[in-house]
Structure formats: C-alpha cells, structure tokens
Amino acid sequence: MAGAVSMGRPSPALRRVLVPLALAQFICSFAGSNMNVMITDISTDLDTTVQGVQVAITIFLLVMAALMIPGGKLTDRYGRVRLFRLGLVVYGVGALLSAVAPGLGVLILGNSILEGVGTALLIPPVYILTTLLFTGVASRARAFGVISAMGGVGSAAGPLIGGLITTAISWRAAFVFQALVIGSIVFLSRRLDDPLPADPTRPFDILGAVLSAAGLILLVSGIMAADTNVWLMIALMLGGALVLVWFFYSVRAKERAGKEPLLSTALFRNRTSNLGLVTQNIQWLLLLGSSFTVAAYLQVVRGYDAIQTGVIFTAATVGILASSLGAERLAKRYAQRSLILAGFIITIAGVGILIAMVHGRPSAWAFAPGLLLIGLGLGTMLTPSVNIVQSSFGEKLQGEISGLSRCISNLGSSLGTAIAGTILVASLTKTGYGAAMITLAGIGLIGLAAAILLPRRPVATAIASAPHQPAEI
C-alpha cells in the first residue's frame, strides 16, 4: 500500500484504505440498531416477546464490549489486518446464521454471539490503523470524521434501512444485507497492509481477558434483571464489581512482576483520556438508549410498523451525517473540548423534546425534531472524543487504548439498551417511555459534566514523533 503515513491531506492510496475501514464501522453500528424496528416482526415470527428481542440486542452489544479489550490486545500479537479479516469472516457467518434462525436461541448465537465476537475482532484494528496511518490533528480528524460519521449513520440509519428491508422482504433479509456488505469489505480490503509487523512472541493475559469480560457481563446482566428480581440484580452487579476489582488487582500484580497485563495501568493515569472515555461511553449510551426507547414505544404502544418507525428515524440519520461529515472543518475552527460540550448540550435538548412527547398523543412526526437534535449533537462530538482518546498515547499503547476505547463505547451502547429497555419493558406505556427518556437525560448531564472538566488546551499529536510517550495535553 502506498503512502504509509500522512501528515497533511491523505494520499489517494490512504483514502482508498479508509473506505473498507469506514464501511466496517458502519455495518457494526448498523447491527446494533437495525433490530429495533424488527421487534414486532421477530417476536411474532420466532414466537418470543419484546423482552426476548431486547435480550438479543443487549447481548450483541455486551459481547462486543466484553471482548473489545482482548481484541485490541490480540492485534499486537497476530497483526491488525489479520484480525480485521478474521473478524469479518466470523461476523459474516453469524449474519447468515441469523438469517435462517428458526428460534430465538439460534438468533442469539448468530447475531448476539458470532456477530459480537466478529465485531470485537475487527473494530480495534479499524481505529489502530487509522491512528497509525493518519497523523496530524486535521488529517486524523478527517479520517476519524469519516469513520465516526459512518458509525453514527449506521446506528441512526439502522432503523430506516432495517425497516425498508423488513417491510419489503423480511427481517431475515436484513441479515443477508449485512453479509453482503461484509463480502464487499473483504473485497475492498484486499490491498490493505499492516503498517507495523505482528509480534507472535507478545504475551496475552488470558486471566485478565476472562476477568474483564466476566465483570462487564455480570454488571449489564444485573441491570437487565432489575425488572424481574431486585435481589438478583444486586447480586449480579455486586459480583461484577468484585470481578472487576479482581481484574485490576491482577493487572497491577503482573506489572509489579515485570509481566505484560491485558491493560497497562498507564492508560488510566491520563486525565484527558479518562474524561474522553466517559464522554464516549455516554454518547453511545444516549444514541442506542433513545433509539431503542423511541422505536419500541412507536411499535408496541403506538402500533407503527417497521417502515413507519424507520422513516421517522431518518431525522437522526440526517443530523449525524451532517455534523460528522463537517468534523474536519469544525476541528479547524473550534477546540475539541468546545465541540464535545456543544454536542452534549444539543443532544440533551433533543432528549428533552422527546420527553415532551409523552404528553397527549402527538403525531409520530413530532418525534423528528428531537431525533434530529440528538443526531446533530452526537455527530458533533463523536469524532473529537475519539481523537482525544486515541491521540493521548503513542504507538506502543495503540492496541490497548483502541480496545479500551471501543470497549467503553460499546459498553455504553449495551448499557443504553439495557437501562432504557429495562425501564420501558417494565411498563410498555407512556409512563415507561417518559421514565426511560428522563433517565437518559440525567445520564446526559453526567456526560456534560465530564466534558466541562476536559482541559481547555488542545490535544497535540505525538504518535509520529515520540511513539512510546503519551501525547502532550
């Protein structure tokens, strides 16, 4: 591949490389939201319930979150491009299995497990390769802007595309569509080369991988159990917290012994990166949480079909696309902290409008302004948050920070569906909808507080000049 690194405008070869990487982020984000408009069709066809479909969606997002950190770490040992292609294959098999699923169990195996594992393998390489190939704030902002835009559009357009396919053909055809996109990515990435050699001797912390995944799974499972058994919820969440404490203890013990853990504790000593991770988590929590809540409310309570629900979500798609594609221009004019602050303010305003929809019986199109604002707000801050986190570390820690970053983002997605979905499913009425949206607004305020605490000085990129040192903050 020509043009290993770009300090200014990317070369044509690098721009071609960006296409499969951005498409990969699109389809993985699409998979996390397109099932929201298939709730009625899937539950009827597979003889399950709304809660059963919610479980399938949440497990998919949770598997991604739980395995992102190990997936990022494995890129150092086996290579970024090799892991990327392996993830595509696993994802494609899962999509085809989901398309022929005779029941909820097989759907969970194909969609939730295999697609989740495939995503965890292929997404960290997307961000590592982008960080290594595109240097300089403007160049990287442009690349991350495209990838973030495709991710945001995938999530926001998932309901529309899924609704169109479900109404015109079947919900099963939506999974065939995913498999076809995966096939095109495999073809487009055939000339993709790894900028860094793989290191087969690099150790892999198996215990750390098991503990981190188990802790996250227990925590989110506890939230999902809230509407059925409070004591089970407490037990699962407490168990998850204890397992994560064990994980961090094992990490520190390995570092003291001179061994390489799953995650370096250096990742958590960077204040800017830590705050950036919080904003990433809450951004995706708001996107997936509001998407599931509005989609379920319109279908189950208001009786809209898949295509009607999907069309309404066009507003969010337009908002994310418009603001994300302007990431490069915005990065040149405004500080990244300012963009994240503005994004949260706009997004919270959009959630506020959606909360107002609980009163009376407004037209379904009345939901569009709120969704548009959520799309504009999220699109404005997705790229700056990613750029802040990725640019805080050099090449040596890119595998780890990429895995952690994607883990935190996907954990936000799974928490959004779990928290909002649990509140809504417990009371599939206007009351449940209102309670879920108010909860999301409160969480959005936490994200706004984290954005306020970000340093005012911009992040400088140190990856090219000092590959083993944190970037200047």
CATH number at residue 300: 1.20.1250.20
H-type helices in 169-229, by residue range?
A: 171-188, 206-224
Decide if 468 is inside a domain: no
Whether residues 293 and 235 share a domain: the answer is: no
Decide if 1 is inside a domain: no
Decide if 460 is inside a domain: no
At 270 the three-state DSSP class reads coil
- The residue out of 230, 261, 292 marking a domain boundary is 261
Decide if 397 is inside a domain: yes
Angle, alpha carbons 191-195-197 (nearest 5°): 110
Decide if 45 is inside a domain: yes
At 361 the three-state DSSP class reads coil
Q: What length is written for the chain?
A: 473
Whether residues 257 and 385 share a domain: the answer is: no
CB–CB of 223/237 below 8 Å?
A: yes
Whether residues 175 and 212 share a domain: the answer is: no
Decide if 353 is inside a domain: yes
Q: pTM for the full model?
A: 0.74
Whether residues 426 and 374 share a domain: the answer is: yes
Decide if 2 is inside a domain: no
* Other C-beta atoms lying within 10 Å of the C-beta of residue 333: 9
Instruction: Count how many domains the chain has.
Output: 2
Whether residues 173 and 278 share a domain: the answer is: yes
Q: Which residue has the tokens 């086996």?
A: 78
Whether residues 396 and 303 share a domain: the answer is: yes
Whether residues 227 and 326 share a domain: the answer is: no
C-alpha of 254 from chain center = 29
Whether residues 165 and 278 share a domain: the answer is: yes
How far, in Å, CA of 345 to CA of 93, rounded?
A: 40
Whether residues 282 and 145 share a domain: the answer is: yes
Range of the domain at 250: 205-261
CB–CB of 112/60 below 8 Å?
A: yes
Whether residues 214 and 179 share a domain: the answer is: no
Whether residues 41 and 177 share a domain: the answer is: yes
Ordered per-residue pLDDT tens for the chain, 473 residues: 434 444 445 566 677 788 899 999 899 888 877 887 788 889 889 988 877 887 888 788 778 878 888 888 888 888 889 999 999 999 999 999 999 999 999 999 999 999 999 998 998 898 888 877 876 666 776 787 788 778 777 877 787 788 889 888 999 999 999 999 999 999 998 888 888 888 888 888 889 889 988 988 888 788 777 666 778 888 988 998 999 999 999 989 998 988 888 888 888 888 888 999 999 999 989 988 888 888 888 877 777 777 777 778 788 878 887 887 676 677 778 888 999 999 999 999 999 998 887 676 667 778 889 999 998 998 888 878 888 887 787 767 766 787 788 778 877 877 787 777 777 766 666 678 888 889 999 999 999 999 999 987 654 443 333 333 322 22
Whether residues 23 and 150 share a domain: the answer is: yes
How far, in Å, CA of 350 to CA of 373, rounded?
A: 5
CB–CB of 119/409 below 8 Å?
A: no
